[in-house]
Chains A and B, each alone.
Chain A
């Protein structure tokens, strides 16, 4: 099969961002974290954890959400979203683990998690689950390149274990998506009242579910545009309806939780944290909910793209609010991410986008299994193959 693609200006831009991040990463490994990062003794986790790990894993929730929808709940018409979703999830988790390798003070010791027994540590569970789930995602996705490369025996082995592996992936996702929230339940004295809750594990899990269809819709619209196929607006409208429900339920759950634990007053204090909270609620939940409830938005590419981007931005802000913005330890210590911190995360995200763009052009990921009879040449020119996929319902 043909692994080569013609680089567009968009690919080249991503490569430049990756190169800049590579230089920053070199400085970080040559001289230590302190040279390039603003994280400090009061804010040991910053943008790297809030965005690079927590948000990446949350939006990687697209993998288990879409898989569960199509395979476990059996809503078969969304099956064509599974392959892109699994690939996105794999790249999100790979990004988060790459981020971890930069963020850890002693990355060469990371294997120690796998030989330790620390059942009281939420991070231990997250570490194990993320490691296992990355393997699961690789096995789930492996069928596509294996089939394409004609490695039939390996393809059959991987296909034979697909069902138990897929179930394992969805189960592991529920565990570690919630465990990331458990991590923050340990510090009620540091996380602002607006966000700290006994129910953070559930809030994290539900918001990751909420990110799933939104990511799938954004990906489909973007792929349709850049790879040149007609988006399946009928399917997107259906996903958008599910998304509206997820956003609405999450909004109700988050507000209900706030009132239930008696923290509702904190919403009406004159502080930047309250502003950050309202931005999260209004632009990340209320506005996309209203938009997605409107049929004309669900049927418009621009409307869908806007609403779903708002949802993802809202999830990002929720993670940042919980883990960075809403955190206070020493009142005289402040934190704002440095150029180096942001640069490295941009580089990792650029690498994930580049990898997705590359794989989307050399592999038939926007098609159903079993793949239509495509010649090798057709696989190298996916636009044609994609058009043939439009017939699949």
Chain B
């Protein structure tokens, strides 16, 4: 496929349709060939297993006990890489080991990685994970099945969902579809598409029946791309370098000329 016809892809995660079967988690492990984990119960909100993403889990359905109406109910949420339009992780990477492809996936090239973990620190959604116990650790996160997308297949998780909670397609179409669902069933959905504008837009669009902060999502993120925060400083690097060097050079020249006139030359250099 030529680059001119490439349309960025996106995925709708419709949490109102999710039944918590975790087929997507199984498909993800299967496609990415990830080992099993020994998991433990934990205290606090949530009932999923494991509690959070880790080096062996790129995709996680969260189980949230929410009181809707008279009694508590399970409301499901999902953690996976959001594949930001302008990813903070990629902007933070000093070796461009993390980068966004034309189709949408934010992917990791381990052959360039130095292991600084700046991407983990940078991610507003707290997604990239690390295998600290490895001798040659790698960054682990959802790849959006970039390898499948390259050959025209859908991401593994999107192919197995039995209730249609995961919908995959061109991002433009997915945005239209997400808006259509909210408009056609306002009693089911809260009027918010998580990922439409967060950090400048992402390739995963979440829908929900309850506010996103109640099901473990990071909320309150800016609508502007995260890399803007550092860009406004870093773009000044070259001019600041030139100006400072010139100013310091001029000051030093004046000082040395004054020293020479006072006959202190030799003491100073």
Residues of A at under 8 Å CB distance from B? Answer: 31-35, 37, 39-42, 44-45, 68, 71-74, 76, 79, 104-107, 109-110, 112-113, 116-125, 127, 159, 162-164, 166-168, 170-171, 174-175, 178-179, 182-183, 185-190, 198, 201, 329-330, 332, 368-370
B102 adjacent to chain A (CB < 8 Å)? no
Contact A183/B126 with A105-B137, A109-B113, A175-B240 known, Cβ cut-off 8 Å? no
B263 adjacent to chain A (CB < 8 Å)? no
A171 touching B88, Cβ below 8 Å: no
A162 touching B229, Cβ below 8 Å: no
Q: Which residues of chain A come closer than 8 Å to B240, judged between CB atoms?
A: 174-175
B137 touching A33, Cβ below 8 Å: yes
With A31-B133, A105-B136, A174-B240 given, name 4 new contacts (CB 8 A). A79-B267, A124-B95, A183-B230, A332-B51
B134 adjacent to chain A (CB < 8 Å)? yes
A179 touching B117, Cβ below 8 Å: no
B34 adjacent to chain A (CB < 8 Å)? no
- Closest B residue by C-beta to A123: B94
Interface digits, B105-133 against A, CB 8 Å rule (1 contact, 0 not)? Answer: 00000001111111011101010011111
B44 touching A332, Cβ below 8 Å: yes
A368 touching B133, Cβ below 8 Å: no
CB within 8 Å of A: which B52-100 residues: 52-54, 88, 90-97
B244 touching A122, Cβ below 8 Å: no
Once the chains are docked, how many angstroms separate the CA of A104 from the CA of B90? 18
- Contacts A/B (CB < 8 Å), 15 sampled: A34-B131, A37-B132, A45-B121, A68-B248, A74-B259, A76-B268, A109-B113, A120-B91, A121-B118, A171-B245, A175-B237, A179-B237, A188-B222, A190-B121, A198-B229
Once the chains are docked, how many angstroms separate the CA of A45 from the CA of B119? 11
B118 in complex: contacting residue of A68, A74, A167, A183, CB < 8 Å: A183
Contact A123/B251 with A35-B133, A79-B268, A118-B95 known, Cβ cut-off 8 Å? no
B112 touching A107, Cβ below 8 Å: no
Q: Which residues of chain B come closer than 8 Å to A171, judged between CB atoms?
A: 241, 244-245, 248
- Closest A residue by C-beta to B251: A72
B21 adjacent to chain A (CB < 8 Å)? no
Once the chains are docked, how many angstroms separate the CA of A183 from the CA of B129? 19
B115 touching A107, Cβ below 8 Å: yes
Contact A121/B133 with A174-B244, A332-B51 known, Cβ cut-off 8 Å? no
CB distance from A387 to the nearest CB of B (A): 19
A186 in complex: contacting residue of B54, B88, B130, CB < 8 Å: B88
CB distance from A234 to the nearest CB of B (A): 18
B234 touching A179, Cβ below 8 Å: yes
B248 touching A332, Cβ below 8 Å: no
Q: Which residues of chain A come closer than 8 Å to B218, judged between CB atoms?
A: 189
Once the chains are docked, how many angstroms separate the CA of A174 from the CA of B133? 37
Contact A32/B135 with A119-B234, A123-B116 known, Cβ cut-off 8 Å? yes
Once the chains are docked, how many angstroms separate the CA of A163 from the CA of B218? 51
B132 touching A175, Cβ below 8 Å: no
Once the chains are docked, how many angstroms separate the CA of A337 from the CA of B237? 34
Contact A120/B116 with A41-B130, A106-B136, A329-B126 known, Cβ cut-off 8 Å? no
Once the chains are docked, how many angstroms separate the CA of A183 from the CA of B252? 31
Chain A to chain B: the 3 pairs with minimum beta-carbon distance, closest first = A105-B115, A74-B255, A34-B132
Once the chains are docked, how many angstroms separate the CA of A118 from the CA of B152? 30
Once the chains are docked, how many angstroms separate the CA of A109 from the CA of B93? 14
Q: Which residues of chain B come closer than 8 Å to A330, judged between CB atoms?
A: 52, 126
B115 touching A44, Cβ below 8 Å: no
Q: Which residues of chain B come closer than 8 Å to A123, judged between CB atoms?
A: 92-94, 116, 118
A170 in complex: contacting residue of B113, B134, B248, B268, CB < 8 Å: B248
Q: Which residues of chain B come closer than 8 Å to A76, judged between CB atoms?
A: 259, 264, 267-268
A41 touching B227, Cβ below 8 Å: no
A189 touching B221, Cβ below 8 Å: yes
B233 touching A182, Cβ below 8 Å: yes
CB distance from A46 to the nearest CB of B (A): 10
CB distance from A77 to the nearest CB of B (A): 11
- Closest A residue by C-beta to B252: A72
B121 touching A187, Cβ below 8 Å: yes
Q: Which residues of chain A come closer than 8 Å to B251, judged between CB atoms?
A: 72-74
Q: Which residues of chain A come closer than 8 Å to B116, judged between CB atoms?
A: 104-105, 123
Once the chains are docked, how many angstroms separate the CA of A178 from the CA of B244? 13
B137 touching A122, Cβ below 8 Å: no
B121 touching A44, Cβ below 8 Å: yes
Q: Which residues of chain A come closer than 8 Å to B267, judged between CB atoms?
A: 76, 79, 368-370
- Closest A residue by C-beta to B122: A186
B94 touching A127, Cβ below 8 Å: yes
CB distance from A37 to the nearest CB of B (A): 7
Q: Which residues of chain B come closer than 8 Å to A110, judged between CB atoms?
A: 114
Interface digits, B219-244 against A, CB 8 Å rule (1 contact, 0 not)? Answer: 01110001101110111010011001
Once the chains are docked, how many angstroms separate the CA of A332 from the CA of B235? 37
A113 in complex: contacting residue of B94, B122, B241, CB < 8 Å: B94
Q: Which residues of chain A come closer than 8 Å to B31, judged between CB atoms?
A: none
Once the chains are docked, how many angstroms separate the CA of A79 from the CA of B264? 13
A188 touching B237, Cβ below 8 Å: no
- Closest A residue by C-beta to B136: A106
Once the chains are docked, how many angstroms separate the CA of A245 from the CA of B202? 47
Q: Which residues of chain A come closer than 8 Å to B164, judged between CB atoms?
A: none
CB distance from A68 to the nearest CB of B (A): 7
B258 adjacent to chain A (CB < 8 Å)? yes
- Closest B residue by C-beta to A38: B132
A189 touching B230, Cβ below 8 Å: no
Contact A186/B133 with A72-B252, A167-B252 known, Cβ cut-off 8 Å? no
Q: Which residues of chain A come closer than 8 Å to B245, judged between CB atoms?
A: 167-168, 171
Q: Which residues of chain A come closer than 8 Å to B44, judged between CB atoms?
A: 332
